[in-house]
Structure formats: C-alpha cells, structure tokens
C-alpha cells in the first residue's frame, strides 16, 4: 500500500526514524482538505505509546478535514543544511502515514495534555497542570495512529557518491 523508498541508500531504519521523531517537537500535518485539496498545518506534538498527539481548538479547517477523511500524513525535518561545496543538502527527515481521530474522555485528554506540559514546559508544570484543568472541556486532542513510517538522510550518500566519482 505504501511505496518503497526509491533511494534505499538514503533510508534510515525505523528505529532511527522514531528516535528523530521523539527528539523533535514540531512538524507539518497533512490532511485531505476542502474539495480534496491537500491541507497542511504546522503543529507541535508529543509522541507517546507509538502514536502522535496534537492539541487544538474544537472547530476549524483542521477539525472539519479530520471529520471528513481520517487519512493523514505528518512530516518532521531534523536537519536542513545546504552544503554549497557539494551542491547538496545535508538533511534528515521523517514522514508518517496513518489515520487520525479524536481523543475522548477527560482522563485520556488530561494524560495527553500532561505529556505536552512535561515536554514543552517542565519547569512550569504547576502552572501547566492548572491550565489543563481550566481548558480541558474546550480543548481538542487529535490522535495520529501510525501505519507507515520512513526516514531519509542525504549527506552520507552524497559523500559516498562523490568519493566513488572522485569529485569534491
């Protein structure tokens, strides 16, 4: 169902991809938007229990898109350094495909929001936990269930190719 990576020498292991996903905090969620057009939105996230979680308002384009079609993708970029002398980019990215839905139940929403506080504001946990209680009934939590993950890195393969051809 999901395509194999064409440039296998640039593919990282699933474990490496998950490590990158775990270490980052920001990515771009891709959904099927109005009229079937792709709709992408930058979001912060937490990764726990093998799933991604996002928090957002309870209405809007993103919510409407999720309600209409639960298929989604998510992309994070860990590195993006142009190397002019090699006419290349040293990059590292991870792309996910999966299904997205809504977390229900105050206990589960609270648990996920606490993960956000732990990741993004560990020194302000008391304040963060108080905010969770104030906003719990208004916040929406989206759960991204991963069906496919792939990671790609480029500089190593570019360097190897240049060594073989004797360039730079």
Does residue 134 form part of some domain? Answer: no
Does residue 119 form part of some domain? Answer: no
Three-state secondary structure string covering 63-95: HHHHHHCCEEEEEEEEEEEEEHHHCEEEEEEEE
Which of 163, 166, 165, 154 is closest to 93 using CA atoms?
154
At residue 92, the pLDDT reads 83
Does residue 27 form part of some domain? Answer: yes
At residue 11, the pLDDT reads 63
Does residue 118 form part of some domain? Answer: no
State the residue range of the domain holding 150.
8-104+141-159
At residue 116, the pLDDT reads 97
Number of domains within the chain: 1
Distance separating alpha carbons of residues 156 and 88, to the nearest angstrom: 11
Does residue 26 form part of some domain? Answer: yes
Does residue 29 form part of some domain? Answer: yes
Does residue 132 form part of some domain? Answer: no
Distance separating alpha carbons of residues 29 and 38, to the nearest angstrom: 10
For each of the chain's 168 residues, which pLDDT tens digit applies? 766 766 666 668 889 889 999 999 999 999 999 999 999 999 999 999 999 999 999 999 999 999 999 999 999 998 877 878 777 777 789 999 999 999 999 999 999 999 999 999 999 999 999 999 999 999 999 999 999 998 878 866 556 655 665 655
Structure tokens given for 149: 């993950």
CATH code (residue 81)? 2.30.110.10
Q: What's the whole-model pTM score?
A: 0.86
Does residue 65 form part of some domain? Answer: yes
């Amino acid at each position: 169902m999901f395509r194999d990576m064409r440039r296998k020498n640039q593919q990282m292991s699933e474990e490496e991809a998950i490590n990158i996903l775990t270490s980052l905090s920001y990515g771009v969620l891709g959904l099927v938007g109005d009229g079937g057009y792709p709709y992408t939105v930058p979001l912060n996230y937490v990764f726990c229990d093998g799933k991604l979680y996002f928090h957002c308002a309870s209405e809007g384009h993103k919510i409407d898109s999720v309600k209409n079609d639960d298929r989604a993708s998510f992309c994070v970029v860990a590195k993006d350094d142009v190397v002019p002398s090699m006419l290349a980019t040293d990059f590292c990215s991870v792309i996910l495909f999966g299904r997205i839905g809504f977390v229900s139940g105050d206990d589960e929403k609270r648990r996920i929001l606490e993960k956000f506080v732990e990741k993004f504001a560990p020194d302000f946990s008391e304040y963060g936990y108080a905010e969770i209680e104030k906003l719990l009934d208004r916040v929406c939590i989206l759960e991204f269930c991963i069906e496919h993950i792939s990671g790609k890195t480029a500089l190593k393969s570019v360097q190897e190719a240049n060594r073989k051809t004797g360039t730079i």
